[in-house]
Amino acid sequence: MSFGDYQIELYLGALGGVLPAHPLTHAELEAGALAVLPPELRTYVAGGAGDEATQRANVTAFERWALVPRMLNARTERDLSVELFGKHLASPLMMAPVGVVGLCTLDQHGDVHAAEVSAATGVPLIGSTLMSDPLEDVVAATGDTPAWFQLYTPKSRELAASLVSRAERAGYDALVVTLDTWVPGWRPRDLASGNFPQLRGKALANYTSDPVFAEMTGPDPDPATVVFTWVGQFGNPLTWDDLPWLRSLTDLPIVLKGICHPDDARRALDGGVDGIYCSNHGGRQANGGGAALDWLPGVVDAVAAHGGDAPVVFDSGVRSGADVVKALALGATAVAVGRPYVYGLALGGVPGAVHVLRALQAETDLIMAVDGYPNRADLTRDALVRTMP
């Protein structure tokens, strides 16, 4: 069975009088989700930094590239699979870490539901430090699908070590360290509404369930104590000097998230990390930085020059299967999506997010089929032509 067969399910359902229950375009998906999300989540999930030019650039950057069709290379079965740190994935999709996904379902357990989506689709979840349920409960719901844990490194090294060791014991397969969020970016939408969920005690389950954090707050802390203790811990400005310490925390593969410059990619690999995550946080953290897709080829080339063994994960602006194909052709090992699956969860719960990921996989598969790229390995930079400067 190919991922593209999902369209057959939808057509057959329509023959039986059942039309698709969830949107099939990102624009409809976003509009529907934002209509049901409360205002504070609407601004937090949909908004970006500054005038959101970088956020828009992330999306439109894909339009500058065209996949060149190649004929008489058709295959009834396509191979989209990829190996990541010894784990075989049927497709190169991943679910990017989103710190408020736990709040985006009616029952406020969106992190667990995201894990259930991962189990249902085989798409790995990168769980955020900012969860509404403890990390152990979340990974338990991923089934046999690999999962990664994303770390916002706290100021206390003891607390950082506790969070990482918990993730390792719980069964996460890799550690993703986010580098560009040690201070909140300038987010006008959130500032205008005074919206910062964590300051209201939301999405802090990994802290309140942690023994080291509990020692900081004391027994039975009131909500204000929890929040102000978290504020005192969040925002550790990591430097290159911290890499040996991070490496010492775990035997798990370490992936650095936020790398956009080739020199940073090289230095990270020299420092002992195992993977590079090219991303500008979807345009949420810093405006004026251009599209992450524009930085991807340079990062990929730097990794290849270093030996080429380290995977390069990419996110920022991915909205369609065509976007996935183009990111892969530019050298990404795996492609993560954020807002699309969150919107799917908000609008349709687990079935809604499963639909979003299956639709992305189906479109990716069908583009490869129609345009004559039957294997993941066929998607090289030579398959693309830049159509706009």
DSSP codes, 305-352: HTTS-S-EEE-SS--SHHHHHHHHHTT-SEEEE-HHHHHHHHHHHHHH
Amino acid at position 344, single letter: G
Instruction: Report whether pLDDT(356) > 80.
Output: yes
Residues β-bridged to residue 83: 88
In the predicted model, is pLDDT for residue 387 greater than 80?
yes
Mean confidence (pLDDT) of the chain: 97
Per-residue confidence at 215, pLDDT binned at 50, 70, 90?
very high
User: What's 96's DSSP letter?
Assistant: P
The predicted structure's pLDDT at residue 281: 97
The predicted-structure confidence for 138-184, as pLDDT tens digits, reads as follows 999 999 999 999 999 999 999 999 999 999 999 999 999 999 999 99
pTM: 0.97
Classify the phi-psi angles of 172: left when phi > 0, otherwise alpha if psi is within -120 to 50, otherwise beta.
Answer: beta
- Asked whether 259 and 237 are in contact (CB, 8 A), the reply is no
Tokens of 100: 């408020």
- CA distance linking residue 318 with residue 49, whole number of Å: 18
Determine the average pLDDT of the residues in 342-350. Answer: 98
Task: Say if residue 85's pLDDT is above 80.
Answer: yes
Determine whether 113 is an active site residue.
Answer: no
Token pair, residue 30, equals: 């976003």
The 8-class DSSP code of residue 271 comes to T
Token pair in block for residue 158: 């003891």
As to burial, measured by CB atoms within 10 angstroms (0-12 exposed, 13-18 middle, 19+ buried), residue 50 is middle
Confidence band of 100 (pLDDT split at 50, 70, 90): very high
- The answer to whether 47 and 192 have CB atoms below 8 angstroms apart is no
Q: Read off the pLDDT of each residue in 324-349 and give the average, rounded to a whole number.
A: 98
Q: Determine phi and psi for 56, rounding to 5 degrees.
A: -65, -40
Catalytic residue among 26, 281, 306, 355: 281
Percent of the chain with pLDDT strictly greater than 70:
100
| C-alpha separations of 137 from 109, 171, 326 in Å | 10, 11, 35
The string of pLDDT tens digits covering residues 115-128 is 999 999 999 999 99
Confidence class for position 369, pLDDT limits 50, 70, 90: very high
Locate tokens 């209201």: which residue?
Answer: 200
According to the model, what pLDDT value does residue 216 have? 98
Provide the pLDDT for residue 287. 97
Residue 307: the pLDDT is 87
